[in-house]
Amino acid sequence: MRLEGKVAIITGGGNGIGRETAALFVREGTKVCVADYDETAGQRVVDELLAIADECAMFVKVDVSSAESVEHMARAVIESWGTPDILINNAGITQDSMLTKMSIEQWQRVIDVNLNGVFYCTRFIAPYMVERGKGKIINTSSIVGMHGNIGQTNYAATKAGVIGMTKTWAKELGHKGIRVNAVAPGYVETGMVANVPDKVLQLMLDKVPLHRLGRPSDIAHAYLYLASDESDYVNGTVLEVNGGLVI
Ligand code: CAA
Ligand code: NAI
């Protein structure tokens, strides 16, 4: 087992990539807090995991866009299981629109969840990791944060911002025993891509040398590497997992 005896918080663990990651991490010996806004999905994931191993998972409802809610989530995990070894800032949303049609609400909500959410979770968990002198923080960026994408001004800004925070925290916290890295997936088969028009999805697929979308497990295994001791000398990197969509 590559993560035996560790404790992980996975935001957005109720669906898609986060859900797959929660299952993989439990199989690798970790206790997982599924921290999600979607109570039904999050609780279902935890129920499935508890059938595999006793006390390997817990659900905490959180809205990562609220500092108060994140502080409550952090306290709940620490009171139950102590300082987490791993924080995966995976929760995210899209509200796509062309720049000239994008509403202020669409802009603000995506910033609140994808950018502020990553800051709040890390702000509340990192001090405990520092106190203990170790920890792994993994932020979820996107190919869109590196290259931009039509219809995603808000989302691209957040995912580029996540890379900036990743590198900043890698510099601030590296000598305190914390490793901070990001994963930048390409298009992955989850609910998030379900609303992408077929024409656009086909455009993307045509550019992927592997001729397939990413699978949640492709990203979960990248998280696993960055969460494990095997990546101890990896800090401040952005691991691209996109099948070669941009080469
Ligand atoms: N790449 C290339 N072309 C795109 C595009 C994209 N991402 N998005 C739209 N276009 C093209 C359309 O095909 C269309 O072309 P034609 O005029 O030749 O038909 C043109 O731009 C205008 O698009 P729409 O007619 O659809 O305009 P709209 O105002 O009705 O809708 C939109 C705009 C909401 C942005 C819609 O086009 C859309 O949903 N596009 C997809 C955006 C996208 O790729 N989102 C990714 C979601 S998954 C994700 O975000 C995860 C991740 O990190 C990768
Ligand atoms: P998903 O939509 O399947 O899952 C996202 C999860 O985040 C859901 O369980 C949702 O309830 C939760 N969430 C949303 N808002 C929240 C909030 N305010 N507080 C707490 N939880 C919240 O999406 P997917 O695809 O699994 O995405 C996971 C991460 O991967 C996101 O950060 C996304 O931006 C990123 N990503 C996804 C790609 C894709 O193609 N699917 C590509 C690149 C990055």
Residue 116 lies in a domain: yes
| Nearest residue to 11 via CA among 106, 140, 103, 104 | 140
Classify residue 31: in a domain, yes or no.
yes
The reported pLDDT for the residue numbered 180 is 99
Structure tokens at 103: 């509403």
User: Are the C-beta atoms of 220 and 190 separated by less than 8 Å?
Assistant: no
What is the number of helices (H) and of strands (E) in the chain?
9, 7
Question: What residues are in contact with ligand 2 under a 6 Å CB criterion?
Answer: 11-12, 14-18, 36-38, 41, 62-65, 90-93, 113, 140, 142, 185, 187-188, 190-193
Query: Domain range holding 40?
Result: 7-188+215-238
**Residue type for position 220:** A
Contact in structure between 154 and 93 (CB atoms under 8 Å) = no
Q: pLDDT at position 165, please?
A: 99
- Ligand 2 test: best mutation among 96, 124, 192, most atoms within 8 Å of CB? 192
Examine residue 137 and state whether it is found in any structural domain, yes or no. Answer: yes
Distance 114 CA to ligand 1 centre (A): 20
The answer to the question of residue 159 being in a domain is: yes
pLDDT confidence of residue 140: 99
Give the tokens for residue 3.
């993560």
Q: Please tell me the total count of domains within the chain.
A: 1
Residue 207 lies in a domain: no
pLDDT value of residue 235: 98
Q: Which residues of the chain have pLDDT under 70?
A: none
Cβ atoms of 122 and 89 closer than 8 Å: yes
Alpha-helix residue ranges (DSSP H) falling in 13-66: 16-27, 39-50
Q: Can you give the pTM of this predicted structure? A: 0.98
Is 223 an active-site residue?
Answer: no
Residue 92's pLDDT is 98
Predicted local distance difference test score (pLDDT) of residue 118: 99
Q: Are 29 and 52 in contact (CB under 8 A)?
A: no
Q: Given the structure tokens 């930048």, which residue do they identify? A: 184
Pairing status of strand 7-11 against strand 31-36: parallel
Distance, CA 204 to ligand 1 centroid (Å)? 11
Tell me: the pLDDT tens digits for 174-217?
A: 999 999 999 999 999 999 999 999 999 999 999 999 999 999 99
Catalytic residue from among 37, 120, 155, 223? 155
Assess if residue 231 is contained within a domain: yes
Instruction: Decide: 174 and 147 in contact? Cβ < 8 Å.
Output: no
Domain holding 127: CATH number? 3.40.50.720
Task: Answer yes or no: is the ipTM higher than 0.90.
Answer: yes
Report the pLDDT value the prediction gives residue 233, as an integer from 0 to 100: 98
Domain assignment of residue 198, yes or no: no
Q: Which amino acid is at 85?
A: D
| Ligand 2 pocket test, candidate residues 20, 21, 37, 195, most atoms within 8 A of CB | 37
247 in a domain, yes or no?
no
